[in-house]
Structure 1
Amino acid sequence: MRMLFRCLFPLVLMLAVPPGAGAAADEPQGSLVIIGGGLRPDNDAVWQRIVQLAGGQGARIAVFASAAADPAPVAAAIVDYLKRYGADAFQVPLAVKLADSDFRQAADDPLLADAVRGAGGVFFSGGDQARITQALVRADGSRSAVLEAVWDVYRKGGVVAGNSAGAAVMSSTMFYAPKTVFATLRGGVRDGEEIAPGLGFIGDDVFVDQHFLVRGRFARMIPAMLTKGYKYGLGIDENTAMVVDSRRRVEIVGSKGALLVDLSHATTDPASAGFNIANAVISYLDNGDIYDLTTHSFTPSKAKAGRRLKPHKDLVADPVFSPDILGRNALVQLMESLINNRRSEAIGIATSGRGTPLPELVFQFTLSKTRDSVAYASVAPPSYSILNLRLDIRPLDLGQATRPE
């Protein structure tokens, strides 16, 4: 049954809910809090921002654990966290996996829809994002009454927050049944298989992904963006949030950061055997930074204001190299090493790894400084914001993948 659903549901949803159609037509006045997963109960900055955007102390927040394998205890835990931070949170009993419940009937229950509509905020838990769209979108692809109520909250100025799977549904396209990161590089993505429509809260021009840098997922987002024609992608790391206001300004809040991927001038070589891209641009946005999706302008955090890095002769000139660019936080570490180096280029390698069913293959990731590359640094604690590094990706034979001289 799940396999049949995976084959048919995304297709009808693509026909009935075109990417970004809801966001463009509904002109939302609210905010989004897009959390990369692994949100800790003691992350005051993120929890407090959600409550504040929902209306402050006593704000009603509707909690959806629709993505969870066991929704009731997950929802109860999130309700408890939100109450600790002063919200009047409540569980929305709507989930495919919720015992003794008909999710189709619940999704169009007018009383449940009214309860959601009366809230100042909505929170989607982590789990499997396919369960969120299955629960909230009708079989014919139209919005259920409860999903329309969520949009009403967003339209009237409330907040829609989502953690992990709840973050994945924020864009008009989401990963649905993804392969591993390397397998995605190797085999690409297909509509209705690896990717399918999300709920589109952020609009149709930005692709969103989560658990981003910890799991090397930047390398799977780029093929998906190319497949669907996205120019911009935002990937948020764990225990961190992107707060998107009604003017489409993105503020990074939490313990880590986010990666901005810009493919507006990127090219591919269709004659090349294997995935490739040239002239992609990537930027690392750190805690407190603001990026405007409308003007594409950047404002560093207060801790980094006036602290733009300048080249100096004391920088090292060692080769900048990562043998596993898909490893935990490896990309950001490579970016930081490059900006603190006199060299203009860094190389990272991705392989399928030993013990995998895929034949061995190597992809080379080349980061380059350009005249548009900029970096800012804070002193305590030390951290970086890194803008506009060029990224090229190409497949290699094993013998060609060598450490730079």
Structure 2
Amino acid sequence: MFQVAAHVLVRAALALALLASNACWAAKAEVPPQPKGSLVIIGGALRGDNAAVWERMVQLAGGKGARIAVFASASASPDKAGKFLVDRFNAYGAKAFFVPVAVRLDGTDYQAAAEDPALADAVRSAGGAFFAGGDQGRITRALKRPDGGNTRMLDALWDLYRRGGMLAGSSAGAAIMSSTMFGHPRPILATLRLGLDESREIAPGLGFIGEDVFVDQHLLVRGRFARMVPAMLKKGYKIGLGIDENTAMVVGPNREVEVVGYRGALLVDLSKAVAQDGPLNVSNVRLSYLDNGDRFNLQTHAFTPAGDKVDNKLDPAKPYFREPLFSADILGNSTVVDLMARLIDSDQPEAIGLSLDSPNGPQPDLGFEFRLTRTNDSVGYMSVLTEAYSVYNMRLDIRPIVVQRPLYQYRPADSAGNPVGAAK
């Protein structure tokens, strides 16, 4: 009797092991393959004459004659935006076509169009797809089902990307590339003071770049690098990429990022950052500026400067700038990059920038200090052609500060410390 029971137990154990093994193999089989395609993530305001970016998109979609599906889903006027973009791609040698999947497109049912098998097959067989700017929430609304599942059209886009096609987007079309995007955020200073309201300010993206990288756009022109930090802290991201206007980040299947276009991109690294509760207070953020032609590998974290910089690494013993570095408006257009460039080529150990609000705004006495510091890991390069800088691994600390209100007029003093013109 004992032998029979033991035999039954052994058979049951073997059966359970076999089921577990089959489940394990099934789970492995369900993991989607690494996409073979490329992403072109544009910070917005892409000019029609920016040939470097337009030509790269056509090339990655298959070259001259490549079929490129144009999505103007984010636009308030998708028909007009779509026509313009189709004409622009065709001017650069593509054979683009408009995809009528847009919430604001008159005379169409966007949900029916997103589930149309013939339309989905046309996109699936294309060489690439492009998402116009506007409101990124309109893109996800058009391509996701009400229950959060993928429409046929979104599955077709993933198939295109996985087999080697090109996915591109500008502004709102860039925001959807990460799995988390901004929804309806407050002004930057309010975000630094109050943190992020996850239900309002953050929304799910489409995640083409993967689960590990956060993407933001219009970055330098609008000083948005500061809002990336609280968003990344909130959602647990260690790496963030912010791209400026009229500029693209090209992400290849080997996970290498190349900057192409007018300006550059900021890489925000929070892998060693330490944050405190309350208004944004974070130390040991690592900040890097990738200029046109620079590369960064998301897997190895290796930087490669552009060809016109690679032989012109800056020597810390021979600094060019020799005065204290300070900005009263760190969120101004390109200010943070200008400070980084001067600091990496300076005899100064740090640069300080401030961000203050209007005296009539909420909490006018609460501002923020941004302290940039050169470390032993900080490296700079300068172009021998344009004198543009690339700066890698600079430390950034952000802390809240009290701004004394009201502000008083400065009055000069004499050698004894008495205000000039005051009664003796």
Counterpart in the other structure of 2:309: 304
Residue 315 of structure 2 aligns with an amino acid whose one-letter code is: K
Which of 151, 156, 161 aligns to 2:168? It is: 161
Counterpart in the other structure of 1:264: 271
Counterpart in the other structure of 2:198: 191
Counterpart in the other structure of 2:113: 106
Q: Is the 8 A contact 1:241 1:254 kept in 2?
A: yes
Structure 1 range deviating more: 250-259 or 330-339:
330-339
Secondary structure of the residue aligned to 2:198 is coil
Alignment of 1:6-25 (within 5 A): 25=32
Residue 337 of structure 1 aligns with an amino acid whose one-letter code is: R
Which of 128, 150, 155 aligns to 1:121? It is: 128
Secondary structure of the residue aligned to 2:32 is helix
Shift in Å, 1:275: 1.3
Q: Is the 8 A contact 1:24 1:203 kept in 2?
A: no
Residue 145 of structure 1 aligns with an amino acid whose one-letter code is: R
Matched, 1:330 2:335: yes
Counterpart in the other structure of 2:179: 172
Shift in Å, 1:313: 4.9
Secondary structure of the residue aligned to 2:200 is coil
Residue 182 of structure 1 aligns with an amino acid whose one-letter code is: L
Question: Matches of 1:300 and 1:205 in 2, distance apart?
Answer: 23
Structure 1 range deviating more: 279-288 or 316-325:
316-325
Question: Matches of 2:305 and 2:318 in 1, distance apart?
Answer: 25
Counterpart in the other structure of 1:363: 368
Question: Matches of 2:319 and 2:345 in 1, distance apart?
Answer: 10
Residue 163 of structure 2 aligns with an amino acid whose one-letter code is: K
Alignment of 1:249-288 (within 5 A): 249-270=256-277, 273-288=278-293
Structure 1 range deviating more: 314-323 or 164-173:
314-323
Matched, 1:244 2:236: no
Matched, 1:394 2:399: yes
Matched, 1:96 2:103: yes
Shift in Å, 1:196: 1.0
Residue 104 of structure 2 aligns with an amino acid whose one-letter code is: K
Residue 280 of structure 1 aligns with an amino acid whose one-letter code is: V
Matched, 1:65 2:72: yes
Q: Is the 8 A contact 2:321 2:342 kept in 1?
A: no
Identity %: 58
Shift in Å, 1:274: 1.8
Question: Matches of 1:26 and 1:65 in 2, distance apart?
Answer: 28
Residue 319 of structure 1 aligns with an amino acid whose one-letter code is: P
CA shift in 2, pair 1:219/1:122, >3 Å: same
Shift in Å, 1:377: 0.4
Matched, 1:349 2:360: no
Question: Matches of 1:101 and 1:130 in 2, distance apart?
Answer: 18
Shift in Å, 1:352: 2.1
Residue 105 of structure 2 aligns with an amino acid whose one-letter code is: L
Secondary structure of the residue aligned to 1:193 is helix
Question: Matches of 1:197 and 1:102 in 2, distance apart?
Answer: 23
Instruction: Report how many residues are paired.
Output: 377
CA shift in 2, pair 1:378/1:127, >3 Å: same
Residue 131 of structure 2 aligns with an amino acid whose one-letter code is: F
Structure 1 segments unaligned to the other structure (5+ residues): 1-22
CA deviation map 1:115-166 (0-9, x unaligned): 1111000000000000000000000000000011011110110000000000
Counterpart in the other structure of 1:340: 345
Q: Is the 8 A contact 2:280 2:399 kept in 1?
A: yes
Question: Matches of 2:305 and 2:120 in 1, distance apart?
Answer: 40
Residue 126 of structure 1 aligns with an amino acid whose one-letter code is: G
Counterpart in the other structure of 1:75: 82
Counterpart in the other structure of 1:216: 223
Q: Is the 8 A contact 2:364 2:403 kept in 1?
A: no
Secondary structure of the residue aligned to 1:82 is helix
CA deviation map 1:45-85 (0-9, x unaligned): 00000000000000000000000001000010010110000
Residue 235 of structure 2 aligns with an amino acid whose one-letter code is: K
Residue 75 of structure 1 aligns with an amino acid whose one-letter code is: G
CA deviation map 1:263-318 (0-9, x unaligned): 00000123xx4211000000000000010000000111001011100023563431
Which of 288, 298, 310 aligns to 1:293? It is: 298
Counterpart in the other structure of 1:13: none
Higher RCO (CA 8 Å, separation ≥ 6 residues): 1
Question: Matches of 1:197 and 1:142 in 2, distance apart?
Answer: 12
Structure 2 segments unaligned to the other structure (5+ residues): 1-29, 408-424
Question: Matches of 1:126 and 1:365 in 2, distance apart?
Answer: 30
